[in-house]
Amino acid sequence: MSATTLLRGPAQPGHRLLRAFLRNPSFMLGLAILLTVVVVAVISPWLFPGDPQDMAGMPTLWPGEDSDFPLGTDNLGRDVAAGLAHGARVSLLVGFSAASIGLAIGTTVGAVAGYCGGWVDNVLVRLTELFQTVPTFLLVIVIVAIGQPSVRMIALAIGLASWPTVARLVRAQFRSLRESDFVMAARSLGYGSPRIILREILPNAIAPIIVTTSVMVANAILTEAGLSFLNMGDPNLVSWGSMIGEGRTLLRTHWFLTALPGTAIALTVLSLNLVGDGLNDVLNPRSGQA
């Protein structure tokens, strides 16, 4: 049993959190949209087998014009619905992978800086500030330009550029918790620093980290869309950003080629923001909903 449990009592029942989530309509709406996008991304190979970049029909068909292509086709005759479904896989993969990389780096740097303090804190804070002086999107472009444009490289570049925000948040949480009673109790029991960081402080600082993660996923999806719009995405895969970039030349005559993937991005980012706001309302002890 950890020192936190000894001093703070048993954990709050999970059903109370569940009721708090169910009473939050914004969270439930965002979760429903996000789950829909995830399901479409998972089953896209069965919904639309084959390569979504293959020419499947007549070019520039409008939505509803041909029952075989309910959302129409682009200027090369590619199925827009297939592109949206397969593009969801790329966008979600990049979003969650980049957020995981940034979360791992930022949490490690912030935890060490906030717990150790002193010169270690100063060095890591200066390193964080150094990364923050470079615009995030510009840094991502430079990293992708140096490497080969691919989903892995894009996710890595976004993760390397997004960790300072998490690091500063985690550092602030650790600085406020490192002198708490349950941490002092853990030290008096002879626990080492790694155990105190991982088992005592981090679980008590996890709520704002979870909320920030949803924002990081949304920002990563937007960044990937921007890269694909600039023809710096993976050329072998369809993404929502690449669909917008390819449809911009026909914006006046076939606006749906840009509007449909743009709507998909907007709904996904909106759902992540709603989920993040709902998590903040429920997990924040000051809100009184948890």
Tell me the domain boundaries of the chain. 22-42+78-287
Give the SS3 label for residue 69. Answer: strand
CA distance 18 to 132: 37
What are the residues facing 271 on neighbouring strands? none
Per-10-residue mean pLDDT of the chain, 290 residues long, equals 46 66 85 94 90 86 87 89 92 92 94 89 92 89 87 92 91 87 84 84 84 90 89 87 88 90 93 87 59
CA distance 159 to 217: 10
pLDDT digits (tens, 9 = 90+) for 61-118: 899 888 888 998 988 889 999 999 999 999 999 999 999 999 999 999 999 999 888 8
pLDDT digits (tens, 9 = 90+) for 30-43: 999 999 999 999 99
Exposed, middle or buried by CB within 10 Å (0-12, 13-18, 19+), for 54?
exposed
Residue tagged 């998490």 (tokens):
166
| pLDDT of the residue at 8 | 46
- Report the top-level CATH class of 22-42+78-287: mainly alpha
| pTM flag (> 0.75) | yes
